[in-house]
Structure formats: C-alpha cells, structure tokens
Amino acid sequence: MNETIRLFVAAAVPASLKASLLQQAGSYQHESIRFVPEQNLHLTLYFIGNTAPDALPAIKEKLQQLASRHTSFSLQLQCLEPGPKPRAPRLIWARFEPNQQFEKLSQDITLQLSVQPPKQQKAIPHITLARFRKDKALPDHLPAILPAAPVSFAVDAVSLWQSTLSSPHPIYSILETFPLS
C-alpha cells in the first residue's frame, strides 16, 4: 500500500497568545466564518504536503541542520484582518510585522525541502485564526483589529507537524521540535 503522511513545518504558539488572539477574533461574527480550534493555531513556515513515511529521517535531518543555522527572533503583531487578499479574503489571520529573520528561515526551509523550484513569494508571518466557508456569502466588510498594546511572539524553535484530515477540522500533531541556535 502506498500510504503517505501530510507534513508541514511551523512554530508552536504559546497558549496565552492563542487565547488572546481567538478572544480578539471573536468580534468577527458572520455565518461564513469557521474558527480554527485553539489547539491547531501555529505559525506556518512551509507546507510539505503528502510524504512517504520513509522520507521522515531525511526531513528531520535537514530541519536539524537548518535550525542550527538560524537564531531565535521575535515577531510583533501588526493586526487581525481578513486576508490574504482584502477584496477576496479566504481567511482571518493575525498578521505580524515583516521580519528579516523570519523571511530567511522560511526561505531556507523552502529551498531545502521543496521538491520543485519554489515560487519567489515573500513569506508573510501569520497565524490563521478562521476560514471563510465556501458555501456561504462573504461578509461585506470586516475591519482590521489593531492590538490595544504591543504583542510579541518569540520564535525559538521550529517543529515538524503532521496533519491528519478530519471533519470538521484536521488534527495536528508535532512529530519533532528543533530549537533554533
């Protein structure tokens, strides 16, 4: 049998930040909004996709090497808003200020783990808080929510996550964590 596992690389989010972000996002109320369960919140760095289980050791080795080449950094919350395209949003996200260390880490992971040459897209540091249902009309206007006080998020490790498709939400589990130097 040719079974695969769905994998992605992400940074875990502290429980206090998860709770705070979901509380703020709760002001977005519309029948088309489906909130992500708190346990699924993460900061995505790279989506690997369906992978043969025997590829896991090589992926883990590459992530260990990558983590040792990058240092810890902090992200500053910019706002909560619909995105990534404001006129045709697919989700509500907590978007963080651009950060050079995040971009370098994301780009390095993408270059090392991508099977095909990666698209030259600039990685936007964000946490997906909700998705819009495809079977419902989108709300007319959802304003950006600015943080009342500065909010920072320390990224000191990256993790290899497994995604198991399930209804109504996938189940995520961390397979291994790699501390940044």
pLDDT (tens digit per residue) in 98-139: 999 999 999 999 999 987 766 667 889 999 999 998 888 887
Distance CA 74, CA 151 (A): 10
> What is the average per-residue pLDDT within 19-32?
90
C-beta atoms surrounding 175 within 10 Å: 13
Top pLDDT among 155 and 84 is at 155
Q: Annotate 104-153 with DSSP letters as a single string.
A: HHHHHHHHHH-SSPPP------EEEEEEE-TTSPPPS----B--SS--EE
pLDDT for 1 beyond 50:
no
Give percent of the chain above pLDDT 90.
74
The yes or no reply on domain 5-179 and CATH 3.30.1280.10 is no
Instruction: Show me where the domains of the chain are located.
Output: 5-179
- Residue 88 confidence (pLDDT): 80
pTM of the model: 0.91
